[in-house]
Amino acid sequence: MVRAREGDADAFCALARRHQGRLERFLYHMTWDRELAEDGAQEVLVRVWLARERYEPTARFTTFLFACARNRCRNLRARRNSRPPCGVARRSGWPGGEGPAA
């Protein structure tokens, strides 16, 4: 990752190939959605590449990588849970069975 931080794309591609499968499995166990895990792994790798100049080798690269993946999952869950699903107002106990006026 130190070489990638200096702009060596080949070094980063080697890291990505080495860790992508494990990263996808990690994300799958957090989401139980294979497609989301595959897309998430790609997104995490892109984000790591874009943030490469800020990488500090104080811990193992995998620690950094999986912390990024865990944070990404938390952000996705928070965004997904911030909006109520369709029809929730009707079941939520509003008078007349309807939600508040928009």
Place of tokens 């079941």: 91
Look at residue 82 in the predicted model and tell me its pLDDT. 57
Please work out, in degrees rounded to the nearest 5, the angle formed at the alpha carbon of residue 79 by the alpha carbons of 75 and 85: 150
Look at residue 3 in the predicted model and tell me its pLDDT. 92
| Domains of the chain listed by start with CATH number | 2-83 (1.10.1740.10)
Q: Residues 2-38: pLDDT tens digits?
A: 999 998 999 999 999 999 999 999 999 988 889 988 9
Look at residue 48 in the predicted model and tell me its pLDDT. 93
Distance between CA 35 and CA 13 in Å, rounded?
21
Place of tokens 């494990």: 22
Q: How far is CA 14 from CA 20, 30, 48, 68, 74, in A?
A: 10, 25, 14, 18, 27
Distance between CA 19 and CA 17 in Å, rounded?
6
pTM: 0.71
Look at residue 54 in the predicted model and tell me its pLDDT. 87
Q: Residues 42-88: pLDDT tens digits?
A: 999 999 999 898 888 888 889 989 999 999 888 877 766 655 555 54
Residue predicted with more confidence, 101 or 45: 45
Contact 51, 4 (CB under 8 A): no
